[in-house]
Amino acid sequence: MLVVMEVKATDQMVARVCVLIESMGLTAHPIPGAQRTVVGVTGNKSKIDADKVLAQEGVKEIIHVTSPYRLVSRECRPEDTVIDIGGLRIGDRNCVVIAGPCAVESRDQAMAVAEHVAKAGVRVFRGGAFKPRTSPYSFQGLGEEGLTILGEIRKEFGLLVATEALDTESLDKVAEYADIIQIGARNMQNFSLLKKAGKLKKPVLLKRGMSATLEEFLMAAEYILAEGNPDVILCERGVRISADSARTTLDLSAIPFVKQTSHLPIIADPSHGTGRRDFVIPLSRASVAVGADGLLVEVHHDPANALSDGAQALTLEMFSGLMEQIKTIAKVVGRTC
């Protein structure tokens, strides 16, 4: 349920409505907007006395939300959520490119890639320190040492860093170093991880599970918002269907769907979304054209010898070419890059 406050409702009126909602055993989530505040209500397993809420001073109307997601929905917050990370605005009219290797493999490797992407205009560097690998015998990431290297990259190049938290145990450590905490596709429905990330005050990049429906994807984001963290960046990273052209299929229509249904920013990951270097640039162009708020792209200075995801990593030269192309496409759809 959503409680829409009058434009002229005071903070005290909003606070009184929240107290009333809480006294009913429910949770109130005040969401201040540019014009008015909306109070999201969660926890209503039984019938709510909506009339009593409606009778409060400053309440304009009550919207009963039929969709299972509430806090992430457009009904709850008509304006786009814009996440400001040290002046970088995600979800605004700019198109944010997050780039870097799949994994931090060594200081030299990460520095070489970071230097190049920073020169190409990137503001957020990515690289996994804790890697979710299909095989236990594959490179698992450098762990804390990888986080330290990311910390050095932040200092040296003034880049923000995004890196994955694999589990609840490593989340706090990852949060110490990361500007954006990634929750990977395989963890999209790791509910204890989502809840714990929801208690942090750091933006979360939530990737869509490989076989998740869009409803399940948005419900996963709902977990994070329901715990009090409003800063979620969604990421479409490809789903498994029986197409044999690529490892996964980037679901481009997920982007306009999410933009209509939710106020949260959504970016596209054409690297994991295809698994093929030669498809990354065309699918990046397409993602920006359909309205993605940004891209997540894997880049490596020596893809042939990468310790993970080498087949989809762009070379440094290809990456520079991509950035130029994206700027042109972004302009066509009224964005900057």
Best CA proximity match to 82, nearest among 90, 72, 94, 73: 90
Between 133 and 173, CB nearer to Mn ion: 133
Residue 56 CB, nearest approach to ligand PEP (Å): 44
Residue 289 CB, nearest approach to ligand PEP (Å): 21
Q: What is residue 133's DSSP assignment? A: -
Between 183 and 326, CB nearer to ligand PEP: 183
Q: For residue 85, what are the contacts with CB-CB under 8 A and spacing of at least 6? A: 124, 160, 179, 180, 203
Contact 117, 143 (CB under 8 A): no
Selection from ligand PEP, Mn ion, none that 207 binds (CB < 5 to 8 A by kind) is ligand PEP
Between 50 and 318, CB nearer to ligand PEP: 318
- Site for ligand PEP contains 58 (CB under 6 A): no
Report the interhelical angle of 254-261 vs 214-226 (nearest 10°).
40
> What are the Cα distances from residue 272, in Å, to 12, 232, 269?
48, 20, 6
- Site for ligand PEP contains 194 (CB under 6 A): no
Residue 272 CB, nearest approach to ligand PEP (Å): 4
Residue 102 CB, nearest approach to Mn ion (Å): 3
* Single-letter amino acid, residue 262: S
Contact 20, 50 (CB under 8 A): no
- Site for ligand PEP contains 294 (CB under 6 A): no
- Site for ligand PEP contains 203 (CB under 6 A): no
Selection from ligand PEP, Mn ion, none that 74 binds (CB < 5 to 8 A by kind) is none
- Site for ligand PEP contains 207 (CB under 6 A): yes
Report the interhelical angle of 214-226 vs 191-198 (nearest 10°).
40
The residues of the shown chain that bind Mn ion, judged by CB under 5 A, are 102, 309
Q: Which residues bind ligand PEP (CB under 6 A)?
A: 102, 128, 132, 184-186, 207, 237, 272
